[in-house]
Structure 1
Amino acid sequence: MGSVAVGLLVLRVFLGGILIPHGAQKLFGLFGGGGVKGTGAFFEQIGLKPGVALALAAGLAEFVGGILVILGFLTPLAALAIIGTMVVAALVAHVKNGFFATAGGYEYNLALAGMALVLVIAGAGAVSLDAALGLFW
């Protein structure tokens, strides 16, 4: 196993490991999250409507996308869903607060989107279901 394969595996595990609990907050109310209803209400407050449907979409992108990224299955599609979710979050909820996450800025969303973009460009790597099944690159 080469260093690129190991690097992509590590990237996938970290990215998915961060996103799965965030999705679980939105979908199931775990880890202090609001669940679909609470997250939907928050989304409505910041102008995202219909809030519940968009909370479900964001939660699925994070939770299912995170699982798919860790497995390296349908990786470019999962990564694109993650990028879309992070870009919307950055633009709607965080850009007004500036760059730094300590002030509620978009730094965190940008980092996650950048990690996902690497997977869109490079693929999941040799240690992935995509590679085992001959999917993508």
Structure 2
Amino acid sequence: MPVEQLLNVSRIDRNHRTSITLVGEIDLESAPLLRDALRQCLQDGIRTIDVDLTHVTFCDCSGLNAFLDASQHTAAAGGRLRLHDPPAMTVRLFALTGSGFLLLGLPVLPRPVPYYEEYEAGHRLDPFVSAALGGAL
């Protein structure tokens, strides 16, 4: 009985830049596929990797680890890995682990004081999540 693939990876190259679109779930089983696809980009001479997460339905710490590993290797090769349009739960994972600025290209700047007052007053939505749900990342 064939095993259903949980993650589909498609890649379009343009010069030394690639766009990867992920569809499905990124977990312990599918993270090696993601890791291999990102490593292959570097082996092919690609130095700018854009990953579209619009159609990712789940991402756990295995996926996060694959992205962080790829980001580190891409930077070491003089390149850049950026994730685009992550779903809110993935943004939340990045926010909880403090990795959003590495993967999403977000500035590491403090928020104005009124924001923190509103947040502490019971608005429990993380700044990365609120950006993904309507603000700009």
User: Given the two structures, how large is their TM-score scaled by the length of structure 2?
Assistant: 0.26
User: Given the two structures, how large is their TM-score scaled by the length of structure 1?
Assistant: 0.26
Larger fraction in helix? 1
Larger fraction in strand? 2
